[in-house]
């Protein structure tokens, strides 16, 4: 694949030095190859976005909404191909790939509605002082760089791209080198819809391409989703330019199970929180805090549930969990299995890679994990669950909050008053009560502490791509 970059409305060949190998993780084998964009091509993409900005931000809100609805419709037309590609390149089971696509479609539809409401947001501001009038304008922040991860391609890019376009921004999108193909769909849709050239640009590459984009002085904003280590570099580059940045980073989230829960229901919520996308989620609830009164009944059933998960190739088998998406991630998770053995952790389920082709690991459960264990404190990004017991509500809150991350949490309790109280006390950006991790476009997404800066989704996602201007006029 040579024409793998979409710049100024044209598909162009990569001119960079890196070769990107696109793999099927269920087989551990490549099925496509492309050449990365060069630094010069990143410059061209930013210049194209800059050139397209004046006309695009001047389009009416209804025009932008029509393009967003077009993106949603076109995604739907490509449904089976996109689902298959998610399964093949990410290793997602079919039901997960279907939800990903539906999420992306819903995101474009939602921001089309918000775009149509934008004219009403520009309004007169009442002033206490006589003799003056003032009005508010919400304007696009400008040219934005979007850097998205490999664990939820198509989805995370929709969360950024849709509100950016709705606000009137122009975009340079850099997908992960692990999953570059599915993001190219957005360029194909732009062509099909007649989106003005330069409004959307897509450059593929590895670290060199990402650094060229995040360091580029032609951007007005950066939005990054990924690891804390790369996020800190993105933040440094943003600080050098004194420009706004949105960061959605890691997590080490807790799921708190009180002893009044239905055991089987609790097991379902716990398994979903650690096995979805093979645990490759910043929101994975990988720290299980279970109350003493239910622990002896819950842990054996949880062990059985994890051992009974069907793990395999989603393209050839009916599975509950697929492989890890990359060999690098497979090696990382395997290193934590080795650390667990060195620390002498008690393993109730899994704890090893699977003896088959591809990058598969077993769903894993460790119990009575010390609070200073690396497996308790560090983000693993795999289906590895660590459990500890607690006695009181106060202890559960304290241990859940004892983390450098603060992305999400889940609370499981039949006492809804207590569940709401605990949810309010948790230092995170999103809490589920008695639920799997259902994410809705109308709600916010983002965290506290080391889990990032800013919010995506909901009206907060749109405001992240807007600047506020006030115009004050003297009447005298």
Residues annotated as catalytic (active site), given as ranges: 248, 282
The count of C-alpha atoms lying within 13 angstroms of the C-alpha of 310, restricted to the half-sphere facing its C-beta, is: 9
Helix axes 292-307 and 263-275, enclosed angle (nearest 10): 50
Cβ pair 385, 270 in contact under 8 A: yes
Helices (H), 5-89: 39-58, 61-77, 79-85
Determine the Cα–Cα distance for residues 448 and 408; give it in Å rounded to an integer: 9
Q: What does the buried/exposed string (b/e) look like for 173-194 if buried means 16 or more CB atoms within 10 Å of the residue's CB? A: bbbbbbbbbbbbbbbebbeebe
Cα end-to-end span (Å), the chain: 65
The count of C-alpha atoms lying within 13 angstroms of the C-alpha of 207, restricted to the half-sphere facing its C-beta, is: 5
List the one residue out of 202, 183, 195, 211 whose CA is nearest residue 12.
202
Cβ pair 206, 177 in contact under 8 A: yes
In the 8-state DSSP scheme, what is residue 311?
A: B
Cα 230–chain centre separation: 14
As a whole number of angstroms, the longest Cα–Cα distance in the chain is 82
Strand 430-433 relative to strand 408-412, pairing: parallel
Instruction: Count how many residues are written for the chain.
Output: 476
């Amino acid at each position: 694949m040579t024409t793998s970059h979409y710049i100024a409305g044209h598909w162009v060949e990569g001119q960079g030095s890196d070769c990107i190998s696109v793999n099927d993780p269920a087989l551990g084998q490549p099925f496509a190859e492309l050449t990365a964009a060069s630094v010069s091509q990143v410059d061209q993409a930013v210049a194209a976005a800059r050139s397209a900005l004046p006309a695009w931000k001047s389009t009416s809100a209804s025009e932008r909404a029509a393009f967003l609805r077009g993106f949603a419709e076109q995604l739907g037309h490509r449904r089976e191909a996109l689902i298959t590609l998610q399964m093949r390149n990410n290793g997602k089971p079919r039901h997960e790939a279907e939800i990903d696509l539906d999420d992306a479609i819903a995101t474009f539809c939602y921001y089309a509605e918000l775009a149509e409401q934008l004219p009403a947001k520009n309004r007169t501001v009442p002033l206490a002082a006589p003799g003056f009038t003032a009005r508010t304008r919400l304007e696009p922040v400008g040219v934005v760089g979007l850097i998205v991860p490999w664990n939820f391609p198509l989805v995370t890019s929709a969360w950024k791209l849709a509100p950016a376009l709705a606000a009137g921004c122009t975009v340079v999108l850099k997908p992960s080198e692990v999953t570059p193909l599915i993001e190219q769909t957005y360029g194909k849709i732009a062509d099909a819809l007649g989106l003005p050239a330069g409004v959307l640009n897509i450059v593929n590459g590895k670290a060199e391409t990402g650094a060229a984009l995040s360091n580029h002085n032609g951007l007005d904003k950066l939005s990054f989703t990924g690891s804390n280590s790369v996020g800190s570099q993105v933040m440094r580059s943003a600080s050098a330019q004194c420009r706004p940045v949105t960061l959605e980073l890691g997590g080490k989230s807790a799921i708190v199970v009180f002893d009044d829960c239905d055991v089987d229901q609790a097991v379902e919520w716990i398994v979903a929180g650690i096995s979805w996308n093979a645990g490759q989620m910043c929101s994975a609830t990988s720290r299980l805090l279970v109350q003493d009164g239910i622990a002896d009944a819950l842990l054996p059933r949880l062990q059985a549930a994890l051992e009974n998960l069907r793990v395999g190739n989603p393209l050839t088998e009916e599975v509950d969990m697929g492989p890890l998406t990359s060999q690098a991630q497979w090696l990382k998770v395997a290193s934590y299995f080795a650390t667990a053995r060195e620390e002498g952790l008690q393993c109730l389920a899994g704890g090893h890679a699977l003896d088959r082709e591809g990058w598969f690991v077993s769903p894993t459960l460790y119990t009575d994990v010390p609070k200073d264990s690396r497996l308790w404190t560090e983000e693993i990004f795999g289906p590895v669950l660590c459990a500890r017991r607690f006695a009181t509500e106060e202890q559960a809150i304290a241990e859940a909050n004892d983390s450098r991350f603060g992305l999400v949490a889940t609370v499981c309790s039949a006492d809804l008053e207590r569940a709401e109280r605990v949810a309010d006390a948790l230092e995170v950006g999103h809490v589920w009560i008695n639920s799997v991790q259902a994410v809705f476009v109308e709600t916010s997404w983002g965290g506290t502490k080391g889990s990032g800066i800013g919010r995506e989704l909901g009206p907060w996602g749109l405001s992240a791509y807007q600047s506020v201007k006030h115009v004050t006029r003297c009447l005298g």
